[in-house]
Amino acid sequence: MSKGNILLIETATEICSVAICNNEKILSSKQEQVITKHVSRLPLMIQECLEAAHLAFKDLGAVAISDGPGSYTALRVGASTAKGICFALSIPLIKINTLQSLANGVLLSETNSGPIVPMIDAKRMEVFTATYDTNLEAIKPTHNFIWSEEIDLSYFAPNSILCGSGAEKIFQKIFEQRMDIKLSKIKECNAEYLFSIALKKYQKMEFEQLYSYSPAYFKLPNITTPKKNVI
């Protein structure tokens, strides 16, 4: 446990983000909107971050992965890459809830005293969400939220701040009736938001079993059966 450098990987959404930290600060980071190209960009971004931090793979002490919820395929890419590095280097894997990471982004960049409600777009009027206090403790656990006109707006605690890729579409439905609720400028995931959470887990040795670890997909992919060709 002497190596304190942690590789941070975020692939839960259309954003592919990588960062490297030690026990004090972020050493390097890179972020791209890749949509469906995580598998081709992630290894290159990891190498670029290592070079920018003047480190090699052997200098890593752990890998922290954004655990979901999010894109099924993108999460698989991140998880398989992280597990491969951990197996090869015999270093531990740390998982971090993607929604908790987004909430941490708000705490890092904005002044806020109310509950934080991160939302990841799940298409149409559905989001993956949770609610966190300012200590990043879950007030409401991870779940899916589907907007309808019948939604009781007391669902949102007073002075809540909404963030993430799915927040704006929900905010637009409620802001006239709940003027106490705010919309954060934090819209996208970022590996840097994993930093402080990953460091605490690393110090407490809260690691995952590599053989059994699987991301928290929360929602399986929508796979359709192709139509048969008519001859």
Residue 221 has what pLDDT? 60
> Do both 140 and 83 map to the same domain?
no
Q: In what order do the strands lie in the sheet with 60-66?
A: 26-33, 15-21, 5-10, 60-66, 93-96
Q: What's the CATH number where 149 sits?
A: 3.30.420
How many other C-beta atoms lie within 10 A of the C-beta of residue 123? 9
Q: What's the CATH number where 43 sits?
A: 3.30.420.40
Q: From the centroid of its chain, how far is CA 14?
A: 11
> Do both 91 and 13 map to the same domain?
yes
> Per-residue confidence of the chain (231 residues) as pLDDT tens digits?
457 899 999 999 999 999 999 999 999 999 998 877 888 899 999 999 999 999 999 999 999 999 999 999 999 999 999 999 999 999 999 999 999 999 999 999 988 779 999 999 999 999 999 999 999 999 999 999 999 988 999 999 999 999 999 999 999 999 999 999 999 999 999 999 999 999 999 999 999 999 999 999 887 665 444 555 544
- Residue 30: which domain range? 5-97+190-204
> Do both 112 and 29 map to the same domain?
no
> Do both 9 and 113 map to the same domain?
no
> Do both 84 and 196 map to the same domain?
yes
Q: Which of 118, 115, 93, 96 is nearest to 105 (CA)?
A: 118
Side-chain-side CA neighbours of 209 within 13 Å: the count stands at 2
In a domain, 215, yes or no: no
> Do both 52 and 166 map to the same domain?
no
Separation in Å, CA 64 to CA 5, 41, 150, 179: 11, 18, 39, 37
Separation in Å, CA 227 to CA 220, 221, 222, 224, 230: 21, 18, 15, 9, 9
In a domain, 22, yes or no: yes
pTM over 0.85: yes
> Do both 56 and 120 map to the same domain?
no
In a domain, 151, yes or no: yes
Q: Which of 6, 10, 1 is nearest to 215 (CA)?
A: 10
Distance CA 105, CA 102 (A): 5
In a domain, 200, yes or no: yes
In a domain, 226, yes or no: no
Residue 100 has what pLDDT? 98
Residues near 173 by Cβ (< 8 Å), separated by ≥ 6? 147
Q: How many folded domains does the chain comprise? A: 2
In a domain, 210, yes or no: no
Distance CA 53, CA 21 (A): 9
> Do both 82 and 104 map to the same domain?
no
In a domain, 198, yes or no: yes
Residue 231 has what pLDDT? 44
In a domain, 231, yes or no: no
